[in-house]
Structure 1
Amino acid sequence: MSPSIQFFAGVYEELSDVSLRRETRTGMRIVVMTFSKIKALDGINSFTKKFFNSLVLTDEEGEIKVIPSSTQFIFGGDEGDELKKVECKFAVEQDDHWERIMRFLHRYAEANGMGYQEN
């Protein structure tokens, strides 16, 4: 089973980037997933497919359902109406949940030719 990401049932999104952060004030771990394009917005996908009301990450261990704390649509272009990217942010509080998210991210990266880089 190839790792996948969905906002809508059956509409598989392609992750462009992931940023792992830690809030300095609280120590909370934050995951920011960036998508260059959202397939669910193409055509009528968002009208014909079931919305999960969460981000569903699926791999060989099963499903992870995450409710984003924020989803930011970033526009650009000459007219300012061209979707450049979408950032989906969520916090992970428990250590075992963090470990599970990291296993998913490693599998997703390996399956999609992505690499890890520290800043």
Structure 2
Amino acid sequence: MAEAKGTASIQFFRGVDEPVVPDIRLTRSRDGRTGQATFVFEQPQALAPETFGNIGGMWMVDEEGEMVTREVNGKFVNGIPSALEATYTWKTEEDFERFMRFAQRYADSNGLGYSQNQKSDQTDAATEEQA
């Protein structure tokens, strides 16, 4: 049964979607239970002079609700804000699965795809698409 595809967004200010799509990198522990997703936003709208304010976190919002991380850092070049880096950490398999559902919705909402480095994961994904 196909799951309904909803929209997903990332926000640095509640209620204001960030239009810049980040580079996202995942790392997981060997047992797969814990891990991190690192988001890098180059020249995000949240750092624009007209919107610049105190960034209290990064909210990942979709039809299931929201996830939040407070681990957000700015990068500066010659004293000028140039990027934001946020890290979302999960500590259970359920949290990881929830994050991946968000990531799929976010990719679908922004016309993106994603790749996995492990060959077994790629094989499983290809098999599911053919079924």
1:3-43 Cα offsets, whole Å, 9 max, x none, are: 1111112332122211001257xx73010012122212213
Give aligned pairs, total: 109
Structure 1: where are the runs of 5+ without partners? none
1:75-107 Cα offsets, whole Å, 9 max, x none, are: 4xxxx5665533212321122111111100010
For 2:94, the aligned partner's letter is D
Q: Which structure has the larger Rg?
A: 2
How many Å apart are 1:108 and its aligned residue? 0.3
CA RMSD of aligned residues (A): 2.5
Percent identical among aligned pairs is 30
Aligned positions of 1:21-60 closer than 5 A = 21-22=27-28, 28-47=34-53, 53-60=56-63
Question: Which secondary structure does the structure 1 equivalent of 2:106 belong to?
Answer: helix
How far apart, in 2, do the equivalents of 1:54 and 1:85 lie? 14
Of Structure 1 and Structure 2, which has the larger fraction of its residues in helix? Answer: 2
Measured at CA, do residues 23 and 37 of structure 1 come closer, stay the same or move farther in structure 2, by a change above 3 Å? Answer: farther
For 1:6, the aligned partner's letter is Q
Question: Which secondary structure does the structure 1 equivalent of 2:100 belong to?
Answer: helix
Aligned positions of 1:1-119 closer than 5 A = 2-13=7-18, 14-22=20-28, 28-47=34-53, 53-68=56-71, 71-73=73-75, 75=77, 80=78, 84-119=82-117
Measured at CA, do residues 84 and 40 of structure 1 come closer, stay the same or move farther in structure 2, by a change above 3 Å? Answer: closer
Structure 2: where are the runs of 5+ without partners? 1-5, 118-131
Of Structure 1 and Structure 2, which has the larger fraction of its residues in strand? Answer: 1
Q: TM-score, normalized by length of structure 1?
A: 0.73
Q: TM-score, normalized by length of structure 2?
A: 0.68
1:40-75 Cα offsets, whole Å, 9 max, x none, are: 22133234xxx562211111111112222x525164
Question: Which secondary structure does the structure 1 equivalent of 2:88 belong to?
Answer: strand
